[in-house]
Amino acid sequence: MSSATASAEVKAPASAVNGASTEVTDPPRLAPGFAAKLNLTVDVALLVGVLLGSAWMRGGLTFPMSWELPSMVVTAVLVWLITGTALCLYDSRFAERSKLDHVALVSVTTLAVVTVQAVLELAMPAAAHVGLAPLLFIFWPVALLLRLGVFRQVASQEAPTEEVLIVGTGAMGRYTGEDLLKRGRHKILGYVRFPEDHASGDSLPADVLGPADELERLLRTLPVSEVYIAGNTLKQGESMQAAIKLAERFGVPFALPAHSFRLDRARPVESRAVADGYLHFAAVAPKPHQMAMKRLFDIAVSAVALWALLPLFAVVAAAIKLTSRGPIFFKQLRTGQHGKPFYMMKFRSMVVNAEELKERLAAQNEQTGPVFKMKNDPRITGIGRFIRKFSIDELPQFLNVLRGEMSIVGPRPPVPSEVAKYETWQRRRLSVRPGLTCIWQVSGRNQISFEQWMYLDMQYIDHWSLTGDLRLLLQTVPVVITGRGAS
């Protein structure tokens, strides 16, 4: 099929329609999410500075300081964080939002802080007030100017946050790849060719990894965040349907062309829904506000836990070092969301050559499926048996939570060798961020079969909610204290 013919039958992304050329630039150097984190830090520092500066100007910043002023500052910061999280003020779409969206979000969050501060000043008439004018005439415009003038530009230099596959090597596939590269938020892992595609891959912005019947293998071996199914529904409908079914079974998000026909004048009523020319689908219900609250909860809990548990960490570290040879921590490669690998932290509870001994003990595995579990595992050290029973060995994973590789609640992260043996439906557990605890931990842990374990994880994914996470946390506490189901 020629490019001219194909472009007359499909609706290409905006950059291709307008004839804009796409230049391949050097890879961005900043880590994904850097601008949002920096913006959050600056906003909180600016808010605290404005409030303390206002109190000082009013003569209320005295030493020793009364409790009212610190409580008002802490309250303002908490309101800013909670409101900003609920509005997804610092999420991954930071660089893609319009300027008007940024103005609206910052304004609403500022008004929330102003409203709460007004209530506090009415409730504490004798306290040293900070005033509302500095928030409206100093903090709000400065925060907004920094966001629009500095942090949006910083965000544009970040590395891509999503790794995608494009199925289809025709005109739509080529236009899609060029458009994604221009937007700068995606890394194209490669193309998959439909049986009906006859065009060569020379003009494509990434390599062709194979035909469509190789898609399952690619989804098993590559960390794919989303699959763009760039086909013509009139001519490639059956092949597109097969790709859709496969993505659904794996739990990988996918996108379909929003328009199957060429549109000359008509425009979508909701243009934001098809900003890149695609309709996006996910295996889990998108709950951006609840997910933002979940991430805020993860950050707060993990940060507090790491500080509070420092004395326990010191005792455990000393016990491990004094009772066995080897490092204090054990760093193991695990598979995270959408198959992305990361190193999970644990206190070392086994002998140094535990991985080598695992091969010799494979015949004594007491767990079904690809997971290795053994009640009286000879590789476990004396102190290791104790810290494993009460899940103390898992506590360093709060570092993984703080870094965003894990969550407090979610399916346990598997090792890559186990994932390689998963059936297709079982890989759907990788569609969410892994966690410290989940339904498996409160349902018997090593006392249930591998298949039951997988079904419990699917139950969590399909019915996830914030209240469900809190309920699982409350159920985890007695399980950890008693060591029930551990080995």
How does pLDDT run across 13-41, given as a tens digit for each residue? 443 333 333 444 454 467 777 888 899 99
Claim to verify: residue 56 and residue 16 sit in the same structural domain: no
Neighbours of 98 (CB within 10 A): 9
Tell me what pLDDT residue 186 has: 85
Claim to verify: residue 298 and residue 265 sit in the same structural domain: no
Q: Which of 234, 263, 281 is the last residue of a domain?
A: 281
Compute and round to an integer the Cα radius of gyration of the chain: 26
Closest CA to 340 of 184, 225, 182: 225
Tell me how far apart the alpha carbons of residues 434 and 337 are, in angstroms, rounded to a whole number.
7
More confident residue, 88 or 475: 475
DSSP secondary structure, 6-74, as one string: HHTTS---HHHHTT---PPPPPP-BPTTHHHHHHHHHHHHHHHHHHHHHHHHTT---SSPPSHHHHHHH
> For the segment 462-474, what is each residue's pLDDT rounded down to a tens digit?
999 999 999 999 9
> For the segment 313-359, what is each residue's pLDDT rounded down to a tens digit?
999 999 999 988 888 998 889 999 989 999 999 999 888 877 777 77
Claim to verify: residue 73 and residue 205 sit in the same structural domain: no
Tell me what pLDDT residue 272 has: 66
Checking if the pLDDT of 139 tops 90, the result is: yes
**Average pLDDT score over residue span 73-82:** 91
Tell me how far apart the alpha carbons of residues 40 and 23 are, in angstroms, rounded to a whole number.
32
Claim to verify: residue 150 and residue 177 sit in the same structural domain: no
Tell me how far apart the alpha carbons of residues 436 and 476 are, in angstroms, rounded to a whole number.
10
**Average pLDDT score over residue span 285-309:** 85
- Are 414 and 335 a contacting pair, CB within 8 Å? yes
Closest CA to 227 of 236, 422, 218, 235: 218
Question: Quick check: is 67 in a domain?
Answer: yes
Q: How many domains, in total, are found in the chain?
A: 3
- Average the pLDDT over each of 98-107, 108-117, 238-247, 436-445 and give the range with the smallest value: 436-445
**Average pLDDT score over residue span 100-124:** 88
Q: Any idea which residue has 């790849």 for tokens? A: 177
Strand partners, 279: 256
- Are 38 and 151 a contacting pair, CB within 8 Å? yes
Closest CA to 174 of 381, 307, 15, 310: 15
DSSP summary character for residue 438: -
Q: Which of 281, 302, 328 is the last residue of a domain?
A: 281
> For the segment 349-408, what is each residue's pLDDT rounded down to a tens digit?
888 877 777 777 776 666 666 776 767 777 888 898 898 888 899 999 998 998 888 999
Percent of the chain with pLDDT over 90: 35
DSSP summary character for residue 348: -
- Are 35 and 158 a contacting pair, CB within 8 Å? yes
Domain residues for 460? 288-482
Claim to verify: residue 334 and residue 470 sit in the same structural domain: yes
Residue 183: pLDDT band (50, 70, 90) is confident
Claim to verify: residue 234 and residue 180 sit in the same structural domain: yes
Q: Any idea which residue has 């004395």 for tokens? A: 311
Residues in the chain: 487
Checking if the pLDDT of 482 tops 80, the result is: no
Tell me what pLDDT residue 129 has: 66
Claim to verify: residue 66 and residue 134 sit in the same structural domain: yes
Q: Which of 128, 155, 182 is the last residue of a domain?
A: 155
Tell me what pLDDT residue 31 has: 76
Neighbours of 65 (CB within 10 A): 12
SS3 325: coil
Rounded to 5°, angle at Cα 419 from 466 and 422: 95
Burial of 76 (0-12, 13-18, 19+ CB in 10 A): buried
Domain CATH code at residue 182: 3.40.50.720
- Are 260 and 10 a contacting pair, CB within 8 Å? yes
Tell me what pLDDT residue 363 has: 66
Question: Quick check: is 110 in a domain?
Answer: yes
Claim to verify: residue 127 and residue 146 sit in the same structural domain: yes
Claim to verify: residue 375 and residue 443 sit in the same structural domain: yes
pTM above 0.75? no
Q: Any idea which residue has 């020629």 for tokens? A: 2
Residue 413: pLDDT band (50, 70, 90) is very high
Residue 443: pLDDT band (50, 70, 90) is confident
Closest CA to 140 of 38, 53, 35, 46: 46
Claim to verify: residue 366 and residue 424 sit in the same structural domain: yes
Question: Quick check: is 117 in a domain?
Answer: yes
Tell me what pLDDT residue 378 has: 79
Residue 148: pLDDT band (50, 70, 90) is very high
Tell me what pLDDT residue 194 has: 92
Question: Quick check: is 254 in a domain?
Answer: yes
Dihedral (C-alpha) 258, 227, 163, 83: value to the nearest 10 degrees? 60
Claim to verify: residue 467 and residue 399 sit in the same structural domain: yes
Question: Quick check: is 88 in a domain?
Answer: yes
Tell me how far apart the alpha carbons of residues 117 and 120 are, in angstroms, rounded to a whole number.
5
- Are 344 and 334 a contacting pair, CB within 8 Å? yes
SS3 330: strand
Checking if the pLDDT of 2 tops 50, the result is: no
Tell me what pLDDT residue 436 has: 92
Tell me what pLDDT residue 17 has: 36
Tell me what pLDDT residue 282 has: 85
Tell me what pLDDT residue 15 has: 39
Question: Quick check: is 487 in a domain?
Answer: no
- Are 295 and 408 a contacting pair, CB within 8 Å? no
Claim to verify: residue 313 and residue 325 sit in the same structural domain: yes
More confident residue, 8 or 265: 265
- Average the pLDDT over each of 53-57, 215-219, 258-262, 293-297 and give the range with the smallest value: 258-262
